Structure 1
Amino acid sequence: MLPYKANFLPFRAQRLYSHSFEPANLEAAEDNHLAKSTGPHIFVSLAAPSLNEMEVQAARVGGASIGYELRLDALQDYGDLETRLHQMLLRLHVPQTIATCRRSEAGGSFHGTVQEQAGVLAAALRAGCQWVDVEIESVDRAGSSWLKQFQAAKVIVSYHNYHRTPALGRIHHRLARLPVPFIKIACRASKLRDNLVILDLLKKHRRRTPRLVALGLGAPGLPSRLLGLKWGCPFIYASAGEHLGVAPGQLPAETMRAVYHVDHLDQRTQLFGVVGSRASMSMSPAMQNAAFQAKRVNAIYLPCETNQLSDFLVLARKKGFMGFSVTMPFKSAIIRELDWLEPLAARIGACNTVAVQHGKWMGWNTDAAAVVEVLTKRLRLAGSRILILGAGGAARAAAYALRAEGAVVFIAARRESAARRLAGAISAQVVPWSSADGLDVDAVINATPVGMAPYVDASPIELARLRARVVFDMVYHPLQTRFLAQARGRGLIAISGLEMLVAQGARQFEIWTGQAAPRALMEQAVRQSLSQPAAV
């Protein structure tokens, strides 16, 4: 932790700051390409064995800013394609449509020749498609003069690398020499800093012809997809719904519009996010972006998935993140990067919230505060006997917070050595795991992942012998765990992990913005997100 003095009070007494959302070095001279664009901002990729199935997918999404990309290489029957596709487009009210027939050598499903590929695309144009996308491999095989047959359409020549993000300058130069209005570069992002390579390319060629679409594939590339319009892409790609993506990391159009509001971002939009090894699965983007929208804060909260904290730090510092959440496995490692750390978080040895104030990185542990908040609604913590199941990071935050409130804490974990270390640090009592269900306590907290989807039939302990008034399960997916079902069946007070998730997220929002968090709306956003599991 860097030597920086900050006159901060402990979290509960701290006066929350409010920072300006007008960055000092605003790119005010940049044209707002979204305001000027008359075409779709989002093309929804449709891939199915039949046109009927594609039409069903298309019916799920729509709007003035939506177009479609038809992955014709997915079709099983090309018979009478022109007529059938024309009728489909008429039923869809002739939307802006890209015809793509990706050959297998470029990662698609079409096994025909380049000439046969051209035949499919030509039929699609006659049927009413206004765009075609052809891969650079086909152009290389047939020569650039092959493109002349599509000159009545808006042509995109695309490059895909499904293995890595190479140096993109030469690739762009190669594509930009072709006589087409649009070029596309899509590369697998193996780390978050690959997004910076894509951003640099977009910024360099923002106003040039041909127009450039660039994006990262996979979970680490999600920032490039979500910030693509802000960074200068003329349009971006999305799927028609969950599990319908045609490329790694492709998000549903509804998620991109309703959760991330990608077509409303501008040069003033501030960046926040969540960093962790499974950040793409986090519920926090849905929760925090809903809060930003409700409070009219011009900000976006991004999933930043990586296995190396240093990888995220490069992105966060270069792009000027104003704050971020920290999940496993970085809650301890982030402490070395902070200028100031809340005293309780320092004692716990874990930080889950970072805010940037006047260029300084400040850290908190809102998990600990959330545990206290949800339990004080049901118990007077001072003197209460509380059993904590587990000895990992979540258990550690709960144990330190509850001991600070004067509770008598018992620790039970399958790894008794871990339980003893935690108990010794806070003067708690260790209980053997095999006898934990025989205690007489006021509350029991499940701070283990037992019962989390997909292992929903598991329970950390049986409640038949345990004497307790309150049962608190930190697991929030599913909302009704077997552990909580047992508690409710016995007439006990049951607390879902969703309440803690929203409580810690609300405190994060308040730290970042200085505004009261819209908690009910945040909970609603999480519930909706849980009902639609993501596939990245």
Structure 2
Amino acid sequence: MISRAPLPKICIALGLPDASRLLEHARREADAGERFLEFRLDYLPRPEDGLPVIRKFLELYPDATLLATCRRHQNHGRFNGSIEEEFRILGAAVDAGARAVDVEIESAEAPLAPLHLLEGKAHIIVSYHNYEGTPALDPLMKRMLRVPASAYKIVTTARKPSDNLRVLSLARSYPKTPLILLAMTEMGFPTRVLCPVFGGVYTYAAPSMTEGTAAGQVMARVLRNLYRVDRPWKSPKFFGVIADPVRHSISPAVHNRALQARRVEALYLPFLVSPLQLKDFFSLAEKLPLAGFSVTIPHKHRIIRYLDSIDPLTKRIGAVNTVFRKAGRWRGTNTDTDGILVPLQKRIRLNKASVLIAGNGGTARSAAFTLKNAGASLSITGRNIDRVRALAKLVDAEALTLEQAEARFFDVLIHATPVGMWPHTENCLFHNAIPASLVFDLVYTPQETLLLKRAAAEGRKAIPGLEMFLEQAARQFEIFTGETAPRAAMERAALEALQEQEEMLRLHQGRHGGHL
């Protein structure tokens, strides 16, 4: 008989083309503490070869829960057999000890489909997958409910931010129906966190240090430790960061650690939003709803048109990095100003100090207006001299070509371009001697850029970009929550996230012959 115990909240999806490797990877996950694994039998040349693996694995880990899947080629799986053969394999998997099976709706609703033979023996997950987009979901849900099942899994492909909300809204529309609701791709990642939070049965994760079976899967420890998906949630608030790309952002690691440290019932999520999708994103932000979010490249300027108000300095800067809701209205501000000002004020008196800003984007604008207010004597340089001149005119600063800047010497250099950022760590904007006694590089991936290395070698004082990031993030946290930012916890989270990011990049480089 089927166990009455609820399924765990995180399922590790394992799809390997070799039975011995399937067992090896399953054991690795179980040894790491994972107890709910999906065996994609259709990944094996002969799905039947997975049956002894199920038996052997459950002998070694009798408390584990296995979900067996044998998805047919017609439904984007790898099994070329018939529906009858699919059910035969799934039945054998249950006999071998699998506690749950995944049957796609196309097989489950086929005439004479022997789904009833599995009833009472295993959890039956009836699933739907759409690799093109997110269709009308209410008709789909009605179709799914015609087939009796333990739970229903709907997996679509997110093409715009609001697809996340469309998928998750089924949990609100069908509160008594056991559901697994996910959207694939990086844009659909929020559903992988929010599915259990919205009452979904479980979510899927990729195996440790390897790719999963669907776009957007991340490792279980990320879902468990960073997003806490397996804890009970009551009425959490939601925050986030919008960017394009967003995968590299360490903001979720830093803000979620801060929320945990201050025991705030809230989650902070990454949202992939393209420049043409801001209006669509705000429909998600209104209805989810979001209480606030961080804004980074490429949205800091464009987002202003969607806000109800911004403060005077932010208006002059023309760039917003923090959006929050107050009295039901969207307000914008710029905490990059804190991120730039506070680290510098710890080291130098800015009034009348000569400062060279390299860059002309949103962060450079923040630096320019902030330091002008602090009384610094400003010069601005960069590769696009026309944009440099435009920014210099706005703040009554001196515009310099890179050659002119390198021929001078300043009290402070603020580097506000992406030059030197991962993966192009061998690059540096300045080819000759570093033209300042104090160098503040706003790039923080890697933590020690080539610019900072050269500054140290030339005897210059240096400020790493992580200081700027942490200061602006701390101010954001205080705006979002009204709590004092736990700076030490945020710094630890940032360092851990950057270390893991660099390890993953090195691993990726190794797999691809040193090329990203």
Say whether the fold is shared (TM-score over 0.5).
yes
Letter in 2 for 1:484: L
Q: Distance in 2 between matches of 1:190 and 1:37?
A: 36
Further displaced range: 413-422 or 241-250: 241-250
1:103 to 1:532, Cα distance in 2 relative to 1, 3 A: farther
Letter in 2 for 1:88: F
Letter in 1 for 2:383: R
Contact 1:463 1:487 (8 Å CA) reproduced: no
Contact 2:420 2:426 (8 Å CA) reproduced: yes
Q: Distance in 2 between matches of 1:145 and 1:97?
A: 23
Instruction: Identify which of 412, 418, 423 aligns with 1:443.
Output: 412
**CA-CA distance at 1:236 after TM superposition:** 1.5
Contact 2:69 2:101 (8 Å CA) reproduced: yes
**CA-CA distance at 1:261 after TM superposition:** 0.9
Please say if 1:228 is aligned against 2:195.
Answer: yes
**CA-CA distance at 1:463 after TM superposition:** 4.6
1:44 aligned partner: 12
1:78 to 1:197, Cα distance in 2 relative to 1, 3 A: closer
Please say if 1:491 is aligned against 2:459.
Answer: yes
Please say if 1:525 is aligned against 2:507.
Answer: no
Q: Distance in 2 between matches of 1:203 and 1:531?
A: 39
Letter in 1 for 2:499: S
Q: Distance in 1 between matches of 2:366 and 2:424?
A: 24
1:123 aligned partner: 92
Contact 2:161 2:280 (8 Å CA) reproduced: yes
1:279-294 pair list within 5 angstroms:
279-294=246-261
Please say if 1:409 is aligned against 2:378.
Answer: yes
Letter in 1 for 2:290: F
Further displaced range: 467-476 or 404-413: 467-476
**CA-CA distance at 1:265 after TM superposition:** 5.0
1:135 aligned partner: 104
Contact 1:412 1:432 (8 Å CA) reproduced: yes
Instruction: Identify which of 385, 406, 427 aligns with 1:458.
Output: 427
**CA-CA distance at 1:64 after TM superposition:** 8.2
1:179 aligned partner: 148
1:128-207 pair list within 5 angstroms:
128-140=97-109, 142-143=110-111, 145-151=113-119, 152-207=121-176
1:24 aligned partner: none
Letter in 2 for 1:472: F
TM-score (norm 2): 0.91
**CA-CA distance at 1:61 after TM superposition:** 5.8
Q: Distance in 1 between matches of 2:141 and 2:89?
A: 27
Q: Distance in 2 between matches of 1:80 and 1:261?
A: 35
1:220 to 1:61, Cα distance in 2 relative to 1, 3 A: farther
**CA-CA distance at 1:358 after TM superposition:** 2.5
Q: Distance in 1 between matches of 2:170 and 2:47?
A: 38
**CA-CA distance at 1:489 after TM superposition:** 1.6
Contact 2:207 2:220 (8 Å CA) reproduced: yes
Please say if 1:391 is aligned against 2:377.
Answer: no
Please say if 1:297 is aligned against 2:287.
Answer: no
1:122 to 1:205, Cα distance in 2 relative to 1, 3 A: same
**CA-CA distance at 1:275 after TM superposition:** 1.5
Contact 1:509 1:517 (8 Å CA) reproduced: yes
Q: Distance in 2 between matches of 1:422 and 1:243?
A: 45
2:473 aligned partner: 505
Taking only the aligned residue pairs, the percentage that are identical comes to: 40
1:431 to 1:380, Cα distance in 2 relative to 1, 3 A: same
1:229-277 CA distance string (max 9 Å, x none):
1222111111123442211111211111111112225232111111222
Further displaced range: 505-514 or 106-115: 106-115
TM-score (norm 1): 0.88
1:371 to 1:76, Cα distance in 2 relative to 1, 3 A: same
1:82 to 1:360, Cα distance in 2 relative to 1, 3 A: closer
1:7-406 pair list within 5 angstroms:
38-58=6-26, 59-60=28-29, 66-76=35-45, 78=47, 81-140=50-109, 142-143=110-111, 145-151=113-119, 152-208=121-177, 211-307=178-274, 308-406=277-375
Instruction: Identify which of 468, 476, 479 aligns with 2:444.
Output: 476
Letter in 2 for 1:184: K
1:114-145 CA distance string (max 9 Å, x none):
333333323322221111111123335x5253
**CA-CA distance at 1:60 after TM superposition:** 3.6
Q: Distance in 2 between matches of 1:529 and 1:60?
A: 22
For this pair of structures, how many residues does the alignment match? 496
SS of residue paired to 1:469 = strand
Q: Distance in 2 between matches of 1:144 and 1:476?
A: 60
Contact 2:30 2:61 (8 Å CA) reproduced: no
1:365-421 CA distance string (max 9 Å, x none):
011221111111221111111111111111111111111111111111111110111
Contact 1:242 1:532 (8 Å CA) reproduced: no
SS of residue paired to 1:145 = coil
**CA-CA distance at 1:63 after TM superposition:** 8.2
Q: Distance in 2 between matches of 1:253 and 1:313?
A: 29
SS of residue paired to 1:280 = coil
Q: Distance in 1 between matches of 2:157 and 2:461?
A: 48
1:446 to 1:414, Cα distance in 2 relative to 1, 3 A: same
1:403 to 1:37, Cα distance in 2 relative to 1, 3 A: farther
Contact 1:61 1:240 (8 Å CA) reproduced: no
SS of residue paired to 1:420 = helix
SS of residue paired to 1:275 = strand
Letter in 2 for 1:155: I
Q: Distance in 2 between matches of 1:505 and 1:449?
A: 19
**CA-CA distance at 1:300 after TM superposition:** 0.4
1:426-478 CA distance string (max 9 Å, x none):
111111122322221112121111111111111111352x3422111111111
1:37 to 1:498, Cα distance in 2 relative to 1, 3 A: farther
Flag structure 1 segments of 5+ consecutive residues without an equivalent: 1-35
SS of residue paired to 2:230 = helix
SS of residue paired to 1:214 = strand
Contact 2:444 2:466 (8 Å CA) reproduced: yes
Q: Larger relative contact order (C-alpha < 8 A, sep ≥ 6)?
A: 1
Letter in 2 for 1:420: R
1:182-239 CA distance string (max 9 Å, x none):
221100011111122222222121213xx22221111222222211112221111111
**CA-CA distance at 1:312 after TM superposition:** 1.2
Contact 1:99 1:133 (8 Å CA) reproduced: yes
SS of residue paired to 1:316 = helix
Q: Distance in 1 between matches of 2:476 and 2:23?
A: 42
SS of residue paired to 1:524 = helix
